[in-house]
Structure 1
Amino acid sequence: MPSQPALPRHVLVLNCGSSSLKFAILDALTSEEIISGLAERLGSSTPLIKYKYQGVKKQIELEANQAHGAAIDTLVALINDHHLADHLIAVGHRVVHGGEHFTQSVLIDDDVIKGITQAATLAPLHGHANLLGISSAQASFKGLPQIAVFDTAFHQTMEKTAYLYALPYKLYTDYGVRRYGFHGTSHFYVAEQTAKLLNQSIEHSNFISAHLGNGCSVCAIKNGKSVDTSMGLTPLEGLMMGTRSGDIDPGLFNFLTTQLDYSAQQIDDLLNKQSGLLGISELSNDCRTIEEAAVAGNEKAILALDMFCYRLAKQIAAFMVPLQRLDALIFTGGIGENSDIIRAKVIAQLSFLGLDCDNTANLAARFSKQGIISSTAANVKAVVMPTNEEWVIALDAATIAQEH
């Protein structure tokens, strides 16, 4: 990804979901957040925008059924009301799927739009929302460079042995069926920051990064480059997550269709929205709620946490195959940064790698959100590192805007 720009620059960062729009204006040099917010329930009867400016939280109710275009129009008015437009030099778009077309962030033009459109077939809900956000922003911010930053780009350094499925090869060559990986901006950012924390060169660092939130993925980073990751063609593969199942036996599809008469949509909903921590605990997809229930003795909550930690530890151990040597295990994301319980459980299962957990440091990281949580004697460091995907997007957008 491009290097940090030399001068302070304000960038509007847009992250378009199927029914939401997350936004922020950041100083690309310092990461200072000028304004940030979320437009949610877009297209429903009660869409609204929540935002924070100068420490004050407010919200704006939109008219019923208004979607991304109206949300961006309202955002433009908000930016103008606070006299922020004059300082903007670019709009950075988080694009979930870049396929094999994009290995780095790019200035958006007609060819880029075509490439994103082609990749959207691999992640239709995210891809089409990203395209809608780009077209709306182009109409509203005429003259500002628009830059696409791809979740998948960081993982384009994986070898075929890591990214191909053991399926007929024509599915890859003709339709692009392969493992792409996601959370790339997060894994890239925390690896860079961890190298700085440990005072070592990223080009000579081997890390395993665990991005843990409602969506979860692990990335094996060798000499600063992604060599394997747990998510695949879609963000469903890999770890147990908030509502997603992660890895399952593909034979389940046949069982659900022939024995239980599930439709393809019902299976998709089951695996993406009803499984994971929510499915096992039968309580919530929120890790905090499950941890509280587990402490109170709820057996399904205990099981959900144990399964989550076991599968995570198993995936981390597997990534020692491509790495061979490990300098640090990085915890990031909402769960990774906040759950001392999960960090301790996972590290305890990985002691054979030379990891340990300093309980005092681990508890302290709940408040500092950053730091080394292993003992000085540990051969491999355990690190908590807060992610900042918006800053990565802002940095890339500012750098590319300066070049053009």
Structure 2
Amino acid sequence: MTKQPAGALLFVLTCAMGVGPLLNYGLSATSPLIIEDLDISEGQFGLLATAIFASAALSSMWLGRLSDRISNRAQLILIFAGTALALVVGALAHDYWVLLVAAVLAGPAQAISNPTTNRIIIHNVPPHKRPGWIGVKQSGVQGSQLFAGLFFPAMSLWLGWQGATGLAAVVALALLFYGLRRLPDEKPVTTAAPPAGRAAPPAEPGKGFPLAVWLFAGYAFLSGLGMQATNVYLPLFTVRELGFSLLLGGIAAGVSGIVGVTSRILWGRQMAKGVRASTLLILLGVGAVLGAAALLSAGEFGAPALLWLGVALHGATILGTNVVIMAGVMKVVPAARVGAATGVISMGMYAGFATGPLLTGLLLELTGDFNTGWIFVGTGYALCVVLALFLRRHGNRSGVPR
């Protein structure tokens, strides 16, 4: 009988998801200091996030396929040590171009985190528990956002933003040593059939994956546009438009992280109960539109209450989309290809992550305020609803729950 995975493994997977974004969340939380210290524009600052996620997008499909072939230990080293390297380079950055190098280095570590953790779950966790595990491990990203929102501003007041970044590298390496000790024994990867009672979905001609995988990837792209645009510019928005302090701006980002942790677990439980992915994605998209509208109104009317409402909706809705998408993809591809399929979705997600902050930064420079940026974010979320409706219609036609 196979030994059931321990809670320590779930903690490792959660950390594997959370450690990769430490650099981008840390940069966001200390954005006013970085912009002033390096004498850069808001658009140049947005380009840092673009570099991180463009690097992740370009490497996602290759790393997704790689994750189906190399050991879990090797993948964990890529995630944690790769992040630590990026943080060290960032800590040494006294020029903008060095920080850009650090951003490029951070991308692949994030790109492989979803394929790695999904692969470990599908080979070590019983099917009925997988959505719950996915919800918890995906919450690591928002746990990282919470940690960064509190850690980086506080440490920056003591050590400067570069010292805070270097200290974060030490945290990443400590987590690596812990994770390597807690990984289960490697299981052989097979091309076994999908779970009993359900045939493998047919591959799309010339693509090798069901259409649902590409629809999930499209949703990941559109939601990623607004998700990272909000994550990157929220602290700066609170400081400039609402007069928040640097610490309070970091707390705003942290609050969305707290809500995001809870929401990802709750959305994972809904998937475990059998609620269709398309149904949840429709609800999440509608809620995200309302969140963007609240942030727009907060800046327009100078209303902190609307800011906190927008932060809460951001955490409760759009930050939960990855759980639904990742749990959904496990239902439409065989176990032996889950890493490669996750790589496709990650490519879409990181392409959105790269595009959102770049365009929002350009809009901020062109208009001088955040209003156009929030309209851009809300429009992307509205298109998510449209795509989820198409996914639901496609699922109804094919008979495969989506």
Q: Same fold (TM over 0.5)?
A: no
- In terms of Rg, which structure is larger? 1
Structure with greater strand share of residues: 1
Higher relative contact order (CA 8 A, sep 6+): 2
- What TM-score do the two structures reach when normalised by structure 1? 0.29
- What TM-score do the two structures reach when normalised by structure 2? 0.29
